[in-house]
Amino acid sequence: DTGVSQDPRHKITKRGQNVTFRCDPISEHNRLYWYRQTLGQGPEFLTYFQNEAQLEKSRLLSDRFSAERPKGSFSTLEIQRTEQGDSAMYLCASSFTGGNYGYTFGSGTRLTVV
Amino acid sequence: KQEVTQIPAALSVPEGENLVLNCSFTDSAIYNLQWFRQDPGKGLTSLLLIQSSQREQTSGRLNASLDKSSGRSTLYIAASQPGDSATYLCAVGTDSWGKFQFGAGTQVVVTP
């Protein structure tokens, strides 16, 4: 068990380009969460999955954002037509149903839109 | 909507002093509360998780208390060390699915 892995660690993209991030949760964790964090702020909830089902999406997640978790394993978060306001740290966390809801976070993907 | 506030936003203490970090929340109907540590540019590390039925949790030099009725939690770190320098975030569990509402954090510097 190597914890929650996120790839890439850093991404610099030009405005208008599409980007995709990947998260590999702890293997026995069936819940997966995406959060976004901007400088000086706490993480803000974006969406979460139980197994392959996406159960809730925040209003922060505009139509340009889409997340998937095929087969209930890894997850991807795609941002289409990136804007400068999308620049942030994108954090993934996983947990296990029936446990104590304690999270394990990944190290995050830092997105910079130029 | 649940709002989580952490005051102060930053503090600096000399090594050896005890740290007291405060978290307040507006809706007492919480499922649990979790304290995290975040080092610059890194992800979050869970420190302590308190279930809504609990009053406190302890791990080593760390102790977290929870008073739902007053909407407060306090994280105590005994005998602080320079390695404790980090941002500490409080997160309130808002539902049974494990979703959390975070505060903005308290940035702590422990000086040798």
For the stretch A34-87, pLDDT in tens is 999 999 999 999 999 999 999 989 988 889 999 999 988 999 999 999 999 999
B-chain residue closest to A88, CA distance: B41
- Residue B54 is predicted with a pLDDT of 94
Q: Could you tell me the sign of the dihedral formed by the alpha carbons of A97, B51, B20, B101, in that order? A: positive
- Residue A100 is predicted with a pLDDT of 62
> Is the Cβ pair A103, B98 closer than 8 Å?
yes
Cβ-Cβ contacts under 8 Å for A98 (sequence gap 6 or more): none
> Is the Cβ pair A103, B34 closer than 8 Å?
yes
Q: What is the C-alpha separation between B92 and B5, in angstroms, rounded?
A: 10
> Is the Cβ pair B104, A42 closer than 8 Å?
yes
* pLDDT grade for A99, boundaries at 50, 70 and 90: low
> Is the Cβ pair A45, B51 closer than 8 Å?
no
B-chain residue closest to A94, CA distance: B98
Tell me the chain A residues in contact with residue B87 when contact means C-beta distances shorter than 8 Å: none
Is the pLDDT score of A98 beyond 60? no
> Is the Cβ pair A55, B97 closer than 8 Å?
yes
Cβ count near A100 (within 10 Å): 12
Cβ-Cβ contacts under 8 Å for A113 (sequence gap 6 or more): A13, A14, A15, A82, A83, A84, A85, A86, A87
Is the pLDDT score of A102 beyond 90? no
> Is the Cβ pair A95, B98 closer than 8 Å?
yes
Which residue in the set B31, B46, B101 is minimally distant from A103, CB to CB? B46
Tell me the chain B residues in contact with residue A56 when contact means C-beta distances shorter than 8 Å: 97, 99
Burial call B47-67: b when 16+ CB within 10 Å, e when fewer:
bbbbeeeeeebeeeebebbbe
A-chain residue closest to B93, CA distance: A101
Mean pLDDT for each 10-residue chunk of chain B (112 residues)?
94 96 96 94 91 94 96 97 97 86 97 95
Report the SS3 class of residue A70.
helix
> Is the Cβ pair B93, A56 closer than 8 Å?
no
Is the pLDDT score of A111 beyond 80? yes
* Residues A93-112, mean pLDDT to the nearest whole number: 84
The alpha-carbon gap from B70 to the nearest alpha carbon of chain A, in Å, equals 22
Alpha helix (H) ranges present in chain B? Answer: none
Cis peptide before A70 (omega within 30 of 0): no
Tell me the chain A residues in contact with residue B36 when contact means C-beta distances shorter than 8 Å: 105
**B87 touches A: beta carbon within 8 Å:** no
Query: In this structure, which amino acid lies at residue A110?
Result: R
